[in-house]
Amino acid sequence: MIRASRLTSFLISLGVAALLILLWHAVVQAGLVHRVFLPSPLKTAAALLAGLRDGPLLGASLATLRRMFYGWFLACVAGITLGALVGNSKTLKVYVAPMLEALRPLPASALIPLFIAVVGLSEGMILSVIAFGALWPLLLSTIHGIASVEPVLYEVGNALVMNKRDVLLKISLPNAMPDILAAMRLSLTISLILAVVCEMLTGSEGLGQWLLNTSRAFASAKMFAGVVILGLMGYASNALVNAVETRLLRWKPHRQ
């Protein structure tokens, strides 16, 4: 029943995507938007295949993908570790929470000049910006997930004479895993967005620079090919995290 429901949802999503492409084609054919600014789906597909076959678009895509995953990995390590420490310590919650609330609203893209001044215009600066922006969902969700653990589980841990490390690894983090995995999916999207923004601002090789250069040259088909690649990256990364979530949360009841 669940597999049939998933298949139906997948087929419906394909149908919606096909309708959007047909609508895109109809808009171009009707001349509602000039073809200099909005290429047809066929021209976009041709530019996409040519870019991947000849190399430039493929290289740019791999560079963005690498930065996205490296920055996301750093954010995962830092966010989950700090979140676990703060979530398990009442003292840290009191002293650290105000600072976290002050830093959380700051947009990572607005801090790029600060990161350039501190780290320099380098690959490390880009990864630092990505990690900083993707850190907050993971950090706050880990803290919230640990705070939401049923107190009776900690009582069981005390009855079993478990030390703090075992309580963290066997009670706190496993029960906070749904919140953490949801934050990992959100952070991965943020990482992709910040990777593109940093590439645009720093001139580094990647899809951000590809989009900027093709838009300036009015090469709209190539520009839309880059947009398609970004969409596929976002879809594939979300599907990957979703598969991991399904695997790790097999104990969690499925919602119909």
User: What CATH number does residue 88 fall under?
Assistant: 1.10.3720.10
Do residue 90 and residue 164 come from a single domain?
yes
Instruction: With H, G, I as helix, E, B as strand and everything else as coil, classify residue 105.
Output: coil
Tokens of 218: 């009015």
Ranges under pLDDT 70 in the chain:
1-5, 251-256
Which pLDDT score, from 0 to 100, does residue 251 have? 62
Residue 256's pLDDT is 43
DSSP states along 181-207? HHHHHHHHHHHHHHHHHHHHHH--SSH
**Residue 255 falls within a domain, yes or no?**
no
Q: Are residues 24 and 141 in the same domain?
A: no
In this structure, the answer to whether residues 44 and 104 fall within a common structural domain is yes
Half-sphere exposure of 63 (CA within 13 A, CB side): 21
Which domain does 73 fall in, by range? 39-248
Contacts of 13 (CB under 8 A, 6+ apart): none
> What pLDDT is recorded for position 120?
83
Question: Residue 254: inside a domain, yes or no?
Answer: no
**94 and 21 belong to one structural domain:** no
Q: Which residue has the tokens 């993908």?
A: 65
Tens of pLDDT along 68-97? 999 999 999 999 998 888 888 778 877 887
Q: Are 81 and 182 found together in one domain?
A: yes
Note whether residue 256 is domain-resident. no
Mean pLDDT of the chain, nearest integer: 86
Into how many domains does the chain fold? 2
* Burial class of residue 48, CB neighbours in 10 A (0-12, 13-18, 19+): buried
pLDDT at 246: 80
Is there a single domain that holds both residue 121 and residue 192?
Answer: yes
- pLDDT tens per residue across span 210-239: 999 999 988 999 999 999 999 999 889 888
